[in-house]
Amino acid sequence: MQSTLPRTYLILVGYLADGRQENKEKLVDGCLYVKDNTGIIPCELLHFELEWLESLFVFPSWSYIPQTDQSAAGYLEILVDPVPVNAPKEVLHSIPVTSPVSAELLLTSRITCKKRSKLTLAGELTRLGPLLHVHHKTFFFLFLKCFASAVCVPVLVQQPSQLLWHHVFQLGHRYTITGLSMSSLKKSRQPVFVTSASSCLLPYCVEQVREQPLDSASQGESTQSSSLETAERLSCPLQMGAEEEQPRPTKESKIISYVGFVTKILNVQAGLFLLDNQVCLCLAYQPLLNSARGLRPGACVELIDVHLLQKPLVSFPFTVLSACLSSMVVLKSFSRLSTPYQPPASSGNLCLQLLFRFNLGMPLYLWLVSLLETFEERFSCFFGHRRLLSSTHRNPGAAEKFLVPLLQAMAPDREEARDIYNEILSKIHRCPLQKYFTLSPPCQAPSLSAVCHVAEQKSWEGFSPSQLLSSLEAQHMGSQELNRRLAWSYCTLSAESFQPQLILLGVLRVSSRSSSLLLQDKSSTVPCVISHKDGSPFAQTALIGSLLQVENYQIVVERFLKTDFPSWEHLENLEHVRKKKTSVYVQFYFEDVQVLHAADGQIQKDLRSGNSSCLRRKKDGSTTSDLETPEEKMLKLKDHKADSGRDESCQGGQSSTGTTSCVSHLFLVTQKEGLMLRNYQLPAEENEAQELLSKKQSSFQATVLWLGRPQLWSHPREIGNLSELEETGDGEEGVMQQEALLLFMGKSLRWFPFLHVDGLYRFIVPCCSDLEVFDKLYFSPVPATFPSRPSCPLCLPVQDIWHLQHETWISCLPEHQLTAMSVLTGMDQRIASIPEVLSSSFTGSLVSFCGEIVERTLCASPKNEKPSVTAGLPKQKGTLLSRDHSVKLSVSVASGSPVIMDIYITATYLQHLRGLLPGAKILFQNLERKISRFHNVYCIYIAASCVSIVSLPASHLPFPSSPAGKASSPSLVFLSNLRPQLKNLAQARILCHLSCVLTVCLQWICSLCSCIFKEGRCTRHNPPCPSQTGVRQASARVLVEDGTGEALVLCRNEHVAAVLGLSLLEWEAVQSCVWSRGSVCIQHGEAPGTGCLEEPEDLVACYLRSLCRSPLICRPILLDFSLDRKPSKILQPAPLQLRNFHCGEVEFVSQVGPRSSLLCLKVEEVGQDALHYLNSQRKSRTSSSC
């Protein structure tokens, strides 16, 4: 993959320099340069002699390494020692020398030596500290060892002209340094030798040195032993993963030495390199060697005294070798591969800033780096690296806003700040790398595509179709119903559902194609639903384009299954699952959103291209703008590209005028309709346009009331107050309160999620100064040949470049403005309550109400509702719902409320409707109210309808498919309380007397065609039915009375057994007897002879009949029921008749009204004790109600 460096056959001639003379103010950084009169370029040498400085050289072998960023300059790698053009300098004379043994004595008893003249030291170099830049000073430490003993003394080199010595020193070589004085460091009071301006570095040469023998009494071994043995340990293989599973949390890192080749640059900003494809080298804890020049893949490095950390982070695949300030990193050979130079950022390196600010250990640092890497990868294409990462003290960047709270939580009180002098000089080594623990990442923020992928996976994890149904119900279902019940399900995931916890990050977008809100990163987009905790709809248009962080959310995975299970018995056989699909979206509250990077207003963004520089300078506020490196300039250019590419709004149009002025118009939304295909006859000049527009296209419309006149602003930023509201009160009402119908099509569809009834919004026409811009676009919805009527509002097609800005809600206006407004609108009571809508006195066909979804079921579409209007809507990807399906939402006023309203929505509308989940509170607007044949009130979702989510379901909802999710026992009522207008009662309970069983019917039916199924075969012959599967079904009608009234109860399946008082075994036996007969039905009780004739010899029928006649069947029971909304009329007696009632021994005669029809939900036997208790309760309630 990586090609070798091309050989350069050019001979380079130049001076070696340290850059001092180039620019006097420039900080001398210890770098070497090659220069001539045309320029200067940094260079790297493996070997350097001091006398080479400022000499003219011929460089016979060298490579030029360009930067990854092509526009920036690279550097030279000098492969072979340069050849001097002039004669070398003269050798110095012999010098008196103090060897380190005596020097250490001098250091320890420094009081007496303070006034001594300059010293000369000679010794072997045992350690060379890295070049440090602290407070605009550059310096380094070195350690010299006495030749005979192990005593080492530290020397501080800080003269700018001596920084080059750093290149000269080689470990194990002997040196002489002159002109040293003694000093102690301010902070740590460590005594050190310090070079002076006159100090010289000389190679140690026995002939030139006259020893100054001092008494060598103290040769104690008390000193730090950083001996030569380390070199012998080099390149010994690492024991990888040997002690991985340590029970104790903190581990001690080993100090080792290592020689290896750089094989990959993992992250140069974070100082992470891969050596020999197996260990990670971390250089973050010391300044990066020569700004990472030379550290290219293929280079050989020697590491001395580095810390070995095994598995510091669970998710990090490598063992880490990390250099601290007492480690040495030496470049041994240059790379021969042609890999470019990636320079570390000179300033604003967030990784390192945070490392030092929080004094992070290796595990947290690696975690931080991985978070930052993904963060950059995901969002730098939208905002540019610079805007994401750069942070001033007062104005932290997006990445910092994201990371700092996480680090604060993880490292709340990192002990003391790092003491670098102590780390270098102390005899007992102390650094942040010594102790560590294996960190499992506490949270993650992966890409959105990964989030979706994991969520989908989780939604199918351990999924089986039988979970979605209770087996009691499922065993009686025909194939069609069974598969329909499986077709659509969902599961919700929260941050805690993921391990580690998942933080959602994304740029808020709005799609004009799907008219939905999206979270976006580089990898993907995820639709999202945002609500306010106070129930007001989400309308923050200013948030578009902002980078959001959400930690409290629900990821909803809608599961779609295409199955062909013949019956419930086959549910375990997954061959019948033909197709699986999911669609994922996320919902959260606006209050849980943290804005990491606020978008500039859309309009400001448009204007920026004109005078960007002045805006930027205002933002930065300081002089930094003129110190821009070419690199930063490039980033800016990229920024702009990214912005304009993503920008969905203003392009072209009036923007060519270059003006910043804009026109705005305030309005109140009085009605909003849903998305549908509409066919508008727009007044078009050209035939082409006419043709285009007469096609049906997705659109929505809203009725609005203009407030005040259009206003002219010199700059969008100045738009602010609601001054228009003040002028609405007085005169000229015709103009002021004009109503209009706004048409949203094409790109303006993006305002759909933001536009809500009762909101005050403003249209802003950017780059425009024409106050009549709105008037010019009006057209009448009726053709011009008709006389226009004032009642018919004018239509206004919303232009793509217009910007919508939400101002406030009508309910938030101060009182004086509000009264003016309500006079204007005169429509406060548009939202009804569910009981109001249900009541028979309700008039009106379009209704709006608010309610909580209790249940969401898929059912076959009502035959009379043809989904023709929506047939052309683009098919939603990811759904497998067929068009003839519709969804029934059972909605109650509040959770636990017994009154429910059913809403039917055909599948084709569902693609725009997210968040319709059990537990969610929804505002339904403009539903069509309907009355069924049975006089039940229900609603259907039509093209003009729309929904908005008032509150999200609580996250602790029971799994929706589990039948155990129902509320506790329903309330106890009397039959006389049941009034027909309470038809939508969800569930109630009575204590009653079962007075007689009217009919019982047991059947086996074909699961495919619902014909009678007899002896394992479907009885349908014309055409023959291939079905092999039959399903048992049972029904019974019984009469009950509770002393206040009488009711007819329809029981199904297992409830029939309960009513007949049969045990499970008995019931099984009876049902299996029906298998050979197909069906057995009996009629009993009052209405004899109205049903079919029974065959007297049938044993099962005889058994059932005798069971029904038995006096044991008449007993008290506790019955949970709902009202039968499709009651049978056949069994209804004439209204108002006299009937006998029994209560113990006493018999009553009472006049009763029509019977209620109930649907049995549960039958419970009542013991004597319970009966007594319940009766006493009933009595107390009756007396209290009398």
Q: Which residues bind Zn ion (CB under 5 A)?
A: 324, 431, 433, 1006, 1008-1009, 1011, 1018, 1020, 1025, 1027
* Residue tagged 């040498």 (tokens): 45
Q: How far apart are CA 213 and CA 208, in angstroms?
A: 15
Q: Which is nearer to Zn ion, 424 or 838 (CB)?
A: 424
Q: CB 1001 → Zn ion: shortest distance, Å?
A: 19
Q: Which is nearer to Zn ion, 164 or 431 (CB)?
A: 431
Task: Classify residue 404 as left (phi > 0), alpha (psi -120 to 50) or beta.
Answer: alpha
Q: Which is nearer to Zn ion, 224 or 516 (CB)?
A: 224
The DSSP call for residue 626 is: G
User: Helices (H) and strands (E) in the chain — how many of each?
Assistant: 22, 57
Q: CB 482 → Zn ion: shortest distance, Å?
A: 15
Burial class (CB in 10 A: 0-12, 13-18, 19+), 338: middle
Q: CB 450 → Zn ion: shortest distance, Å?
A: 36
Burial class (CB in 10 A: 0-12, 13-18, 19+), 846: middle
Q: Which is nearer to Zn ion, 73 or 1025 (CB)?
A: 1025
Q: Which is nearer to Zn ion, 305 or 739 (CB)?
A: 305
Q: How far apart are CA 264 and CA 1175, in angstroms?
A: 83
Q: CB 1008 → Zn ion: shortest distance, Å?
A: 5
Q: CB 429 → Zn ion: shortest distance, Å?
A: 6
Contacts for 237 with CB less than 8 Å, ≥ 6 apart? none
Q: Which is nearer to Zn ion, 303 or 795 (CB)?
A: 303
Q: How far apart are CA 427 and CA 127, in angstroms?
A: 13
Q: CB 253 → Zn ion: shortest distance, Å?
A: 8
Q: CB 567 → Zn ion: shortest distance, Å?
A: 12
Alpha helices in 441-493 (DSSP H): 448-460, 471-474, 479-487
Q: CB 102 → Zn ion: shortest distance, Å?
A: 29
Q: CB 187 → Zn ion: shortest distance, Å?
A: 18
Q: Which is nearer to Zn ion, 177 or 1006 (CB)?
A: 1006
Q: Which is nearer to Zn ion, 326 or 525 (CB)?
A: 326
Coil vs helix vs strand at 698? strand
Q: How far apart are CA 631 and CA 635, in angstroms?
A: 6
Q: Which is nearer to Zn ion, 326 or 701 (CB)?
A: 326
Q: CB 128 → Zn ion: shortest distance, Å?
A: 15
Give CA separation, 361 vs 713, 817, 1018, in Å: 54, 59, 74
The closest alpha carbon to 380, from 192, 127, 639, belongs to 639
What residue type is assigned to position 867 of the chain? P
Q: Which is nearer to Zn ion, 650 or 1008 (CB)?
A: 1008
Q: Which is nearer to Zn ion, 401 or 1020 (CB)?
A: 1020
How many CA atoms are closer than 13 Å to the CA of 323, on its beta-carbon side? Answer: 26
- For the chain, the distance separating the N- and C-terminal CA atoms, rounded to the nearest angstrom, is 93
The closest alpha carbon to 849, from 913, 907, 921, belongs to 921
Q: How far apart are CA 181 and CA 164, in angstroms?
A: 20
Q: How far apart are CA 326 and CA 305, in angstroms?
A: 7
Residue by residue, DSSP assigns 807-849 as EEEGGGS-HHHHHHHHHHH-----PBPHHHHHSTT---SEEEE
Q: CB 459 → Zn ion: shortest distance, Å?
A: 34
- Tell me the three-class secondary structure of 1102-1127, residue by residue: HHHHHHHHCHHHCCEEEEEEEECCCC
Residue by residue, DSSP assigns 123-161 as EEEEEEPPPEEETTEEEEEEEEE-SSS--EEEEEE--GG
Q: Which is nearer to Zn ion, 287 or 343 (CB)?
A: 287
| Helix, strand, coil shares, percent, the chain, to 5 | 25, 35, 40
Q: CB 1009 → Zn ion: shortest distance, Å?
A: 3
The DSSP call for residue 1090 is: S
Burial class (CB in 10 A: 0-12, 13-18, 19+), 1184: exposed
Q: Which is nearer to Zn ion, 306 or 528 (CB)?
A: 306
Q: CB 874 → Zn ion: shortest distance, Å?
A: 37
Q: How far apart are CA 177 and CA 172, in angstroms?
A: 15
Give CA separation, 437 vs 311, 412, 418, in Å: 9, 17, 19
Q: Cα torsion for 620, 626, 629, 633, to the nearest 10°?
A: 70
Q: Which is nearer to Zn ion, 926 or 1003 (CB)?
A: 1003
Q: Which is nearer to Zn ion, 998 or 1005 (CB)?
A: 1005
Give CA separation, 40 vs 13, 24, 341, 702, 943, in Å: 12, 15, 18, 67, 72
Q: CB 1068 → Zn ion: shortest distance, Å?
A: 24
Q: CB 518 → Zn ion: shortest distance, Å?
A: 47
Q: Which is nearer to Zn ion, 475 or 515 (CB)?
A: 475
Q: CB 308 → Zn ion: shortest distance, Å?
A: 11
Q: CB 262 → Zn ion: shortest distance, Å?
A: 21
Structure tokens given for 805: 């800005």
Phi, psi (rounded to 5 degrees) for 205:
-140, 120
- 1159, β-bridge pairs: 1050, 1122
Number of other CB atoms surrounding residue 419 within 10 Å: 15
Q: How far apart are CA 374 and CA 445, in angstroms?
A: 8
Q: How far apart are CA 769 and CA 1081, in angstroms?
A: 82
Q: Which is nearer to Zn ion, 323 or 760 (CB)?
A: 323
Q: CB 1011 → Zn ion: shortest distance, Å?
A: 5
Q: Which is nearer to Zn ion, 453 or 1017 (CB)?
A: 1017
